């Protein structure tokens, strides 16, 4: 059975008590109603589950102006509190983008099982895509579900907001038979969250798509890697990177249908992965990640032509866990790479593992400047984004030196690489950031998961809960 479900939020009423605006059980009453469209379960069951899956946390009431204000003709309401979403199992939010029509689009999975297999999650996890209004209220939710495991790893949205693309992986059959352990998929949604088309691709190996980007010709570029392939009781192949391009199919009666243009797959003797993806206005493709060699990991950046031809490879650092985790093209057309290193690349070294940010010449791959930042912890960036003023934002996870605690952080850098500000949050348990986005109101949000009380007064419903948090950068 395949479940495709869109949930539309109709109303939310909030009451506050005293105590500085913190959302506690005594200070918050949230009443929500949901309109369910096209679900394979009863409206009563889904209403009960939907109403319990979205909970507010610590507020940032003043950021973004008073309720009813606008920026560029789009609503810019005060954020009513950070969001914690979860089931009794594991839930993670892995992607976030600003909706050109206002608000945010977030995605990930819910009801998965973690900690039992080398490829996580397992179980009957279902992929989710949600539209969140500028005040944090739920507008709609789309679920992607089979009896197997589904996750949504990344999102892309057209300039007008009319088409939303969800990149994920499935162990089931969303559009044809599964080719192996995990196939990748791209589902096209309209601006209201309704499914238009699904493309599923794979082979005998477990695909792990990580990033998705629209190119100027209207195609979609996907970057990721195959997870370790264990067909029975032996390792047949280590992690190998891939890049592919999809374009709108011609004919067939579905204008939203996609077809595969090309798929470039590496086959190496080490564990090599692609973690970041950027596409410039010429259609040139930039992918970042790490190459394993002799017990070390090389942080690298590759440039590919629009047809997938390799132009150059540039290595920034090497170390046991060095990686170039993100690559992005700024609104002004400049190319930036962010990653993690155990070495001194910038003016100073701060902790066990630091964040590095490089401005790169897109034609040659040569570094124009390098900034290094961090704390005494091991700091690992997972996301990079920009605001309208060309400022950079880096978000990720800080792990204590003993490995017993992990918190989340964000950094703001000027276009010239100067550190402008930082934001950090932590609980006694583990949490990770996977995505960051600046909304149309100019506010920086991050998404990820927590196993503890990251949002004051809110404990996870299960092993992990997904979160959407507003930073003060």
Say how many CA atoms lie within 13 Å of 115 toward its Cβ. Answer: 6
Per-residue pLDDT, 68: 57
Angle CA 68–69–71, to nearest 5: 140
pTM summary value: 0.85
The 10 Å Cβ neighbour count of residue 358 is 27
Per-residue pLDDT, 250: 66
Per-residue pLDDT, 252: 53
Edge-to-edge order in the sheet of strand 378-386: 378-386, 392-399, 406-413, 419-425
CATH number where 148 lies: 2.130.10.10
pLDDT under 50 in the chain at which residues? 1-62, 65-67
- Find the domain containing 213 and state its range: 3-470
Per-residue pLDDT, 385: 98
Query: Would you list the DSSP string of 87-117?
Result: -SSEEEEEEEEE-TTSSEEEEEEEEEB-SSS
Q: Which two tokens stand for residue 54?
A: 């979205």
- Can you name the residues that pair with 156 across neighbouring β-strands? 165
Number of domains in the chain: 1
């Amino acid at each position: 059975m395949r479940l495709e479900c869109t949930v539309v939020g109709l109303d939310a009423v909030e009451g506050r008590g005293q105590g500085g605006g913190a959302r506690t059980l005594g200070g918050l009453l949230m009443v929500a109603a949901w309109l369910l469209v096209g679900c394979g379960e009863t409206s009563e069951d889904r209403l009960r589950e939907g109403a319990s899956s979205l909970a507010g946390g610590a507020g940032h009431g003043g950021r973004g102006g008073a309720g009813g204000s606008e920026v560029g003709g789009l609503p810019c309401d005060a954020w009513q509190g950070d969001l914690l979403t979860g089931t009794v199992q594991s839930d993670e939010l892995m992607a976030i983008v600003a909706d050109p029509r206002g608000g945010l689009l977030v995605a990930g999975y819910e009801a998965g099982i973690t900690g039992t297999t080398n490829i996580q999650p397992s179980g009957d996890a279902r992929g989710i895509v949600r539209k969140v209004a500028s005040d944090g209220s739920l507008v709609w939710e789309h679920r992607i579900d089979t009896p197997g495991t589904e996750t949504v790893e990344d999102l892309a949205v057209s300039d007008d907001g009319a088409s939303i693309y969800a990149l994920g992986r499935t162990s089931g059959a969303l559009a044809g038979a599964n080719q192996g352990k995990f196939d990748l998929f791209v589902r096209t949604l309209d601006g209201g969250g309704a499914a238009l088309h699904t493309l599923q691709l794979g082979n005998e190996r477990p695909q792990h798509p990580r990033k998705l980007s629209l190119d100027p010709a209207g195609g979609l570029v996907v970057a990721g890697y195959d997870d370790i392939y264990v067909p029975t009781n032996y390792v047949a192949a280590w992690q190998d990177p891939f890049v592919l391009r999809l374009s709108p199919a011609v004919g067939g009666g579905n204008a939203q249908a996609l077809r595969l243009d090309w798929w470039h797959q590496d086959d190496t003797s080490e564990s090599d992965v692609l973690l970041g993806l950027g596409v410039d206005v010429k259609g040139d493709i930039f992918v970042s990640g790490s190459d394993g060699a002799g017990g070390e990991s090389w942080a690298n950046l590759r440039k590919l032509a629009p047809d997938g031809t390799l132009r150059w490879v540039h290595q920034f650092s090497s170390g046991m866990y060095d990686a170039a985790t993100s690559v992005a093209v700024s609104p002004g057309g400049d190319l930036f790479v962010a990653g993690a290193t155990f070495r001194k690349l910038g003016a100073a070294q701060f902790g066990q593992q630091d964040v590095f940010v490089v401005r790169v010449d897109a034609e040659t791959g040569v570094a124009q400047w390098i900034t290094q930042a961090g704390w005494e912890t091991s700091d690992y960036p997972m996301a990079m984004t920009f605001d309208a003023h060309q400022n950079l934002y880096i978000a990720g996870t800080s792990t204590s030196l003993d490995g017993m605690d992990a918190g989340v952080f964000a950094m703001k850098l000027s276009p010239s690489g100067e550190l402008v500000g930082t934001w950090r949050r932590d609980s006694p348990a583990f949490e990770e950031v996977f995505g960051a986005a600046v909304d149309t109101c100019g506010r920086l949000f991050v998404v990820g998961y927590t196993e503890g009380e990251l949002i004051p007064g809110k404990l996870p419903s299960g092993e992990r809960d997904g979160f959407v948090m507003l930073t003060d950068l």
